[in-house]
Amino acid sequence: MSNLKDTKDVKKRYDELKKEIAYHANKYYNEDAPEISDFEYDMLMVELRNIEKDHPEWITADSPTQVIVASGIHDSHFAEVRHEIPLQSLQDVFSTEDVISFVNRIEKEVPNPSYVVEAKIDGLSVSLEYEKGVFKRGSTRGDGLVGEDVTLNLNTIKSIPKKLKDEIDIIVRGEVYLPRAFFEKINEEREIMGEKLFANPRNAAAGSLRQLDPEITKKRNLDIFIFNVQKSSDVKFTSHYESLKFLEEQGFVISPFLKRCKTTDEVMNAIHEISEQRGDLAFDIDGAVVKVDSLTQREEIGVTTKVPKWAVAYKYPPEKKETIVKNIDIQVGRTGALTPVAILEPVRVAGSVISKTTLHNEDFIKEKDIRIGDHVLIQKAGDVIPEVSEVLKDKRTGEEQIFEMPRVCPVCGSEAVREEGEAVIRCTGIECPAMLFRNIVHFASKDAMDIDGLGPAIIETLIEKNLLNNIADIYDLKAEDIASLDRMGEKSASNLINAINKSKENSLDKLISAFGIRHIGSKSAKIIAKKYQNMDDLMHASMEGLCSINEIGEIMAESLVKFFASVQTEDLIHRLEAAGVNMESDISQNIDNRFEGMTFVLTGTLPTLTRSEASAIIENYGGKVSGSVSKKTTYVLAGEEAGSKLDKAQSLGVTVIDENEFQHMIA
């Protein structure tokens, strides 16, 4: 009876694992947004394989062990490429015993084998095709049989030779990766612009390679290592090592760590050597690959439907080291987020010395019960980012201190708040030096004060030159200050000064939007500026008065009241007013609200109006503009090449109008 119960429990766990792994595989391969580490995913797969080993009768075609995961064949914008030679994946192993077993098996199958041990780059696998030495086409691995044509994007990678030394026909395989320094820079820029951050360099590389605009890919600074000859019509090789050295002569950048080995000890020493180096590398690796060197012996050993039998990929386990939390500091990021950082007794982990690590937020600290003085285990998540994996509570002495997150910004002294539904505590100070760059970028952006020419790069330079220490300093800039900057001449300086002066004439709603007040966007700024016709009235607005405005709820009203009650806000507004920035609204309170209570959805190309112009008209008449069609939609305003929104409107019985009917409605 107990065996039956145990079997039911195992079967239940087996079914759960299949669903869980399928979910995370989709997140990793198709959404480039993993929620767990590679190691955690690998451990789920190991658990699944172990169950299937004991219960092979449960294996079905949809099991993750049977399915070939398609890495990225989810974007119909790219043409499909059928690989002439399949791009197989490798069998992962997770212990030195597994590597030794692999070597022992190979030695029984072929005489006197030799091996090549390489670093396993954590990137995106691609195929490069050359005709008479000229790069013709590049594609992603996909499911190994069919990938996506990303030739234009691969052409932006400088280390991919466009012409080889010899005029040969050859197909090679490589791993596109994003150097760690560029990964950090990209995420910093995305954070500033309020965009979702990439989880790790591998996913950033995948997302970059699938950009529809090659110029965006070019800016991402992708790189590549070549690790295999897939097909060669003109040159014949006897060994893998020989083929890679040939590729290097042709102009390719080959795998960074390449070692020929004869014995088990040599193989294990090479794996250990790579492990020691990985913390000092400029890019991510997640293991070491062991391959039989002889191409003839590879043919003799053979392949399965999914993996070659002549190679394994040893995945490094996360290395954990014990240290002490000496203190917890607070860092204020460019978005105003207060991030707790553990100051550690320095310890060497995965090849580098760790002296501090992020603790993310107060929930993370409370969940793990991290205290100042605690003994903790540190590991590198994905072998890159150090993190506290465990608190060694049995080593506590009673002297440890419980940490509380501050409710005042340590940089500027403004109130720091945690809003409902968020884990982050943020500074509310508009003049906080830590947020200066982000605040000025937003202030000058198109949906705010729309200062043409004042982009992130020049803002960064102006801050470095001490010419911008406050948002209001924008209006103190002189043409000669700007002209003296690199790549900025007199004409560029004059154009920027003109754009700055022009922004002074903007209506009040643009200024409200430019402040970057939490929960207040450009649409709500217009609604507010229609009610409060000047800055002075708005600064003295009450919660009740704000909440009386249609579409302004309590959270938005509270955010506005707190913002305008700040001393920093008052100082900034006085400086802007003194500089001549308009503080009056040009949105009439007397416009009729004929569209009040109505929701419009726009689709397709209109004959004479742009979508933004049509949206502004609808909003000025009290209506709403939505991005999706539902039963609550009043009208769908459709132009040429209207897509799925038109189809949905028709299926739901929503009234569809064209621009001519719309013009009659506003006449």
CATH number at residue 472: 1.10.150.20
Give the total number of structural domains in the chain: 5
- The two three-digit tokens of residue 34, written as one number: 């993993």
Q: For residue 175, what is the domain's CATH number?
A: 3.30.470.30
pLDDT value for 589: 61
Lowest mean pLDDT among 91-105, 157-171, 245-259, 636-650: 636-650
pLDDT given for residue 539 in this prediction: 94
**160 & 267 share domain:** yes
Backbone angles phi, psi at 110, to 5 degrees: -135, 150
Closest among 432, 431, 488, 429 to 457, alpha carbons compared? 488
Helix axes 659-666, 611-620, angle to 10 degrees: 30
Give residue 251's pLDDT band: very low, low, confident or very high (50, 70, 90): very high
Answer yes or no: is 19 within a domain: yes
Domain that includes residue 396, residue range:
321-402
Residues known to be catalytic: 120
Token pair of 363, please? 């929930």
Instruction: For residue 461, give the nearest of 492, 430, 428, 502 by alpha carbon.
Output: 492
pLDDT of amino acid 1? 39
Give the helix/strand (H/E) hosting 206: helix 201-209
Q: What is the pLDDT of residue 29?
A: 67
- Which pLDDT belongs to residue 659? 92
Please tell me the distance from the alpha carbon of residue 168 to that of residue 280, in angstroms, as a whole number. Answer: 36
Average of per-residue pLDDT values in the chain: 88
Same domain, 88 and 141: yes
Q: Which of 181-185, 356-360, 586-590 has the highest mean pLDDT?
A: 356-360
> Residues 295, 358: one domain?
no
Q: Do 154 and 281 lie in a common domain?
A: yes
Q: Assess if residue 650 is contained within a domain.
A: yes
In terms of domains, do 132 and 112 share one? yes
Residue 616 lies in a domain: yes
Quote the CA–CA distance of 17 and 37 in Å, as a whole number: 16
**Phi/psi zone of residue 185: left (φ > 0), alpha (ψ -120 to 50 degrees), beta?**
alpha
Share of the chain above pLDDT 90, in %: 53
309 and 167, same domain (yes or no): yes
Please give the pLDDT value at position 74: 45
Distance, CA of 487 to CA of 467 (rounded, Å): 17
Residue 413 lies in a domain: no
Instruction: Assess whether 523 and 654 both reside in one domain.
Output: no
What is the pLDDT, as a whole number, of residue 231?
95
What does the pLDDT look like over 340-353, one tens digit per residue?
999 999 988 766 68
Same domain, 227 and 266: yes
Residue 574 is predicted with a pLDDT of 96
* Domain identity same for 142 and 221: yes
Q: What is the pLDDT of residue 351?
A: 61
CATH at 27? 1.10.287.610
Give the CA distances from residue 632 to residues 200, 509, 552, 655, 658, in Å, rounded to whole numbers and listed in that order: 40, 28, 20, 11, 19
Are 309 and 325 found together in one domain? no
Name the E strands within 435-565.
none
> Would you state the pLDDT for residue 535?
94
CATH assignment of the domain containing 326: 2.40.50.140
The stretch 436-465 carries a mean pLDDT of: 91
pLDDT score, position 117: 97
Q: Which of 29-38, 142-151, 212-221, 578-587 has the lowest mean pLDDT?
A: 29-38
Structure tokens at 318: 């996360």
Q: How far apart are CA 437 and CA 373, in angstroms?
A: 35
**Quick check: helix, strand or coil at residue 402?**
strand
Is 75 domain-assigned? no
Residue 205 pLDDT greater than 80, yes or no: yes
615-655 pLDDT, tens digit per residue, is 878 887 878 888 889 999 999 999 988 878 898 999 999 99
Rounded to whole angstroms, the Cα distance separating 141 from 569 reads 53
Judge if 274 and 213 occupy the same domain.
yes
Domain boundary among 258, 292, 315: 315
Top pLDDT among 564 and 233 is at: 564
Which range of 61-75, 256-270, 370-384, 586-600 scores highest in mean pLDDT? It is: 256-270
Same domain, 301 and 361: no
Query: For the whole model, what pTM was predicted?
Result: 0.60
Residue-level pLDDT at 286: 84
Q: How far is CA 578 from CA 161, 473, 520, 529, in A?
A: 57, 12, 25, 20
Which pLDDT band, with edges at 50, 70 and 90, does 78 fall under?
confident
pLDDT beyond 50 at 73: no
DSSP-derived secondary structure letter, 294:
B
Q: How confident is the model at residue 193 (pLDDT cuts 50, 70, 90)?
A: low
The string of pLDDT tens digits covering residues 300-314 is 999 987 899 999 999
For residues 524 and 260, give the distance between their C-alpha atoms in angstroms, rounded to a whole number: 65
Coarse DSSP helix, strand, coil percentages of the chain, rounded to the nearest 5 percent: 40, 25, 40
